[in-house]
Chain A
């Protein structure tokens, strides 16, 4: 069974970088697409981006200057880095497998990240 698990700090200071890891079991990240979605307080959901089976990436233009998604295929993990965070980046962050780069069929449990000094 495909399983995803996010990990990373729950508290980040403004202007710093947010770094999260998604560990995948039961499926190789060298197949399909893998990415990040966040849900803000108030329930708005935002697609952040993905990394493909080949290592190519696609990002939400609203984040393009601050976001980076990378991977370590030897550990079957992929990563999110979001730079220069503000309080508006406070959200629950989910990693997911994107089937055919169209929809998320497997999701992690999510990790809540608060940006605060």
Chain B
């Protein structure tokens, strides 16, 4: 299985930029298609799709969220961070038929 590694915690100030990383144990890209996706999850709620295929903003998601990367290294950026963005963020790959998720990054306020 492809292992996705995320830092457990990221502390950020409101109004600043948050950069959340996800590293895959092998490439999750096929040609120019990057099969990495990002979710936000708040306590007691279901995951919400933010970014699909590395850089595409899901429907209804604010433009302060963006994604980038290819191969094995991917980034979710929130700029500027708002209070409503305090949550856990998970990456997920679909390069292999067995999807896997990262362990999640908890975004906290400094």
Q: How far, in angstroms, from A97 to B74 measured CA to CA in the complex? A: 24
Cβ–Cβ contact A105 & B49, under 8 A: yes
Q: With A94-B47, A103-B37, A104-B49 in contact, is A45–B90 under 8 Å at CB?
A: yes
How many Å from the CB of A48 to the closest CB on chain B?
A: 10
A109 at the interface (CB under 8 A from B): yes
Contacts of A44 in B (CB 8 A): 101, 103
Cβ–Cβ contact B100 & A47, under 8 A: yes
Q: With A47-B98, A102-B35, A102-B52 in contact, is A109–B46 under 8 Å at CB?
A: yes
| Chain B residue at smallest Cβ distance from A48 | B99
Bitwise, B86-110 to A at CB < 8 A (1) or not (0) is: 0010101010011111011000000
Cβ–Cβ contact A43 & B37, under 8 A: no
How many Å from the CB of B51 to the closest CB on chain A?
A: 9
Q: With A102-B53, A103-B92 in contact, is A94–B98 under 8 Å at CB?
A: no
How many Å from the CB of A80 to the closest CB on chain B?
A: 16
| Chain A residue at smallest Cβ distance from B38 | A103
How many Å from the CB of A85 to the closest CB on chain B?
A: 21
| Chain A residue at smallest Cβ distance from B47 | A107
Bitwise, A35-53 to B at CB < 8 A (1) or not (0) is: 0000000011111000000
A60 at the interface (CB under 8 A from B): yes
Cβ–Cβ contact A43 & B46, under 8 A: no
Q: How far, in angstroms, from A46 to B98 measured CA to CA in the complex? A: 10
How many Å from the CB of A42 to the closest CB on chain B?
A: 9
Offer 17 A-B interface pairs, CB within 8 angstroms, sorted by A: A43-B103, A43-B104, A45-B101, A47-B99, A47-B100, A47-B101, A58-B97, A61-B98, A99-B52, A101-B94, A102-B37, A102-B52, A102-B53, A103-B49, A103-B92, A105-B49, A109-B45
Interface positions of B (Cβ within 8 A of A): 35, 37, 39, 45-49, 52-53, 58-59, 88, 90, 92, 94, 97-101, 103-104
Q: Other CB < 8 Å A-B pairs besides A43-B104, A44-B103, A102-B37, 14 of them?
A: A45-B92, A45-B104, A46-B101, A47-B100, A61-B98, A94-B46, A103-B49, A103-B92, A103-B94, A104-B47, A107-B46, A107-B48, A109-B45, A110-B46
